[in-house]
Structure 1
Amino acid sequence: MTTESIADPPLGAVPPHFTELMWPALPGVVDEITAAIRTLIPAYDRPDESTYHRIMTLGVETLVRGFIVRVGDPSAPSIERNATARALGHFEAVEGRSLDELNAAFRVALRICWHRTAEAAWREHIPAGVIAAMAETMIDYVDEVSEQTVIGYRSAQARADLARKDARKALLAAILQQGRPVPGDAEFRTLALAADWVVPAQVTPVVVAAGTKFTRSALDPDVLAETDSYQPCLLVPGKAGPARLAMLSAVLEDAPSVIGCTVPIDQTPDALRWARRVLALSEARVIGEDGAVPPLTRCDDHLVTVLLTSDASMTRYLAGRHLAPLRDLSPATRQRAIDTLREWVTSRGSAVEVADRLGVHPQTVRYRLRQMEDLVGEQLKDPTSRFVLELTLRAAYLQRRP
């Protein structure tokens, strides 16, 4: 027994009058396809007079027409078909859907077209080999159309992502603009809508060291980010709780960073400024130990330091004024006296406790404190002067720490 190799007949083997039979059936087939799609796929079930329905009907008609043209002339250009398929893919992206519904609609259309083609072929006594070739041609045609819809879909997504990214950058810039009435600003609300961002009551800014490499894919979708600036920052809606901290750790890894104070959204510029100051103090080794800038430092833990280091010239002036009685001491003696006074004033500890903190003998501390009593005793008696002296000592210590 021998077997013959059976090849699919070329498309040219379709009888010339076959496409002539398909053209008159086009309107009925289009109506049948659109009706079936509306019945089987709820997303496409819209009123007859709606723009939505007109777009679907035009798309079905163009693609079915393109198939008939393809059957009659395999070399015919597919420009209109491809443009329609891409437009349908674009439409799905704009509607916020995946391509699942559109692919389901193609399957519905394929089934109906095949049934009507098979019926016509049977009536016209078309050979089985030609019918088989027609079936494969239909499948290939739908595959090609699907590829074009993916192109249109991805193109729309890319444009939408770019527009959304631009809107989010503009939105973040608006939030960070000092003095802007953000919550009630119509322009701001328009930006938030374009950025697909739900405006929260409070936000937490996060500042990051320059040159940080971000894992952007780990960012929560609602976090606004400026990662290309020489002063990178993030804006987290609400508080930075455990889940947000885990996200930030994934995004920033061990990069030096500061989590700002959680504030109403119109106070974001202030919170951002404080956080950047804490980052600068960390980099200057005023904050932190061993010269290392810690990741995810909380600004809330260092606000007093920010306040005390906000004006170096004022600190020098206060030190010159309130510590003037110590100027006649030798530099080394003066510094030891200041350190002892600072520890005592700020800790309110006993001579033993102060000595332990300074690493000296308690009797040494007592001696120094008696000396300070003689020199600045009046300031220590007055509550206001004592408070100013404490601030001055703390600020002077922070200023010379590096």
Structure 2
Amino acid sequence: MPKGSFVGDVAKDLGLHLLELSDRGVRILNKGRTQYFAVHGKTGHLATAERIDREQLCPLEEKCVLRCELIVEGQMQVYGIQVEITDINDNAPNFRQAEKDLRFMETTAPGSRFPLPDAHDPDSGRNSLQSYELSGDEHFSLAVQAGPGGDQRPELVLAKVLDREEAAFHELVLRAMDGGDPARTGTARIRVTVLDANDNAPVFSQAEYTVRVPEDVPVGSTLVTVMATDADEGMNGQVKYSFHKISDRASELFNLDSETGEIIVKDDLDFEEISFHELEVQAHDGGELFDTAKVAISVTDVNDNVPELTVSSAVSAISEDAQPGTVVALLKVQDGDSGANGQVRCSIDKDVPFRLEKSYEDYYRVVTASELDREQVWEYNVTVRAVDGGSPSLQSSA
């Protein structure tokens, strides 16, 4: 939907009068840096303020919900709003490897299977990747296996004995199709070269490598070294390493040394962005036989975010005959860390006649705690402090 599209009639749904909207002031706070929604003061309608890309906002979620808050300043009232973003088929399946070169021994037994490049479609449901098909040569067929997460993994199956003297090369086309209407497709070209014998494949020292690393690990650090051995000699026994399956973000964060098998950090990690990475690495010998291993990298949280206190609304003056419990300010507290590092305690000065009250989720109200007397004290500076549960803890004040 284009920018400015109607989302909902907030004024009608919440029973707000248009006069209230214009006189008392209404603001929309979106959760995040980008303001995706705005409210029109004259109509009370909620509308899109930016174009919304579901695949960018919710790349791994079936249901995409954006949350925002409506603040009616005159009432010191906060309303929560949730907007579900539904998917359209605006992405075609895409192969990270548009071309793949494979090398088969002519002694390879029929029925042997080899992994093919897999496609990715960021759309959801039927609009996402649904099936694969292979065309090009009677010597090969396609099998699709289900991965641990339910994903489809295409494999090339040797259906007929190869004869290098008959054909040294085979050209194949792998197609990936989604379930949209109309359907979108992506293709990858597979070139098979028929070689002579290499009868030992590399073998990894373990099937899965598990690593735990703090998010503040220095760039250039080696997280883990994968190792595979090959019983063959010469070129057939020389092992090189490569990533077989890795996300776009992980490829920006990690580098694999093809000679040593070291996985090295090449950019700053951020627990709040992604806390877990699962990679697949392959060890290839000189004859293109291989073994595959998983690498699971857990990023642990470091207390690197200071609690943020934001004064959402406040009054600058109050009558001395105001009753105890009168609201003078509305604040929001948030901390980007998780667990104890993100648990924030708020407090207020003990020597002022004000106290804190929990309002809505992360909101607090500053209210009068006792009767006021202007002739004794005509002005107060009230400080609210926020301290997280990290060790050492971080704090801020407003």
Shared fold (TM-score greater than 0.5)? no
Kindly name which structure, 1 or 2, has the bigger radius of gyration based on alpha carbons. Answer: 1
Per the normalisation by structure 2, the TM-score is 0.19
Per the normalisation by structure 1, the TM-score is 0.19
Q: In proportion to residue count, which structure has more strand?
A: 2
